[in-house]
Amino acid sequence: MKKKNLIVFGAGGHAVSCLDLILNQGKFKIKFLIEKKVKKKKLFGIKILKEKKNLSNYKKNASHAFIGIGQIKSFLPRKKLFDKLRLEKFKLPTIISKNAYVSPKSEIGIGTVIMHGAIINAEVKIGDNCIINTAAVIDHGSKIGNNSHISTGVIINGDCTVEDNSFIGSGSILREKSFIKKNSFIKMGSLITKK
């Protein structure tokens, strides 16, 4: 099967993890990485280019694009870029680690990444442009809104709701049926017990 050309935005720590998944899958040929402030010439042997204002300039190189920019303090950089890429009609693949379990009875949105060791159980719904990080567990019936980051080692028990644009810090645990409102920032190691 012929590999599809892909450009990746970002060349920092989160991009390193994303590239590892993409290269391991073998479905895409990464043409280059795009960064606002270029600090090095290459990452994993892939060229890093300075970002141009007009994203349509990249269409001749690849029809697929992926956001390898992390999200902790603010969801806005990822959301703005996601919206621009959609406007330019780029295809935004969902990248899932071979070492993650994703139930066939779950739904995963476009542009979302599921990292190594993550477990996504039945009837889970994950929105667009999300990061489900290493070893995160999302149990049955839970819903994760668009542009959200579920960090490393988070446990989200059954029938929880995390609304759009939220960040759940590493090692946090959500009791079953917990509700996290839109634009929330939950710090590392939090225990959420209220419904």
Give residues with Cβ within 8 angstroms of 137, minimum separation 6. 118, 119, 121, 154, 155, 156
Lowest mean pLDDT of 17-21, 40-44, 122-126, 137-141, name the range: 40-44
pLDDT tens-place string over residues 133-163: 999 999 999 999 999 999 999 999 999 999 9
CATH domain 94-183 topology = UDP N-Acetylglucosamine Acyltransferase; domain 1 (2.160.10)
H or E segment and range at residue 17: helix 13-25
- CATH superfamily membership of 4-87: NAD(P)-binding Rossmann-like Domain (3.40.50.720)
Query: If 0-12 CB within 10 Å is exposed, 13-18 middle and 19+ buried, where does residue 173 land?
Result: middle
Distance CA 92, CA 112 (A): 9
Write down the domain spans for the chain: 4-87, 94-183
> Per the structure block, which two tokens stand in for 138?
């999302």
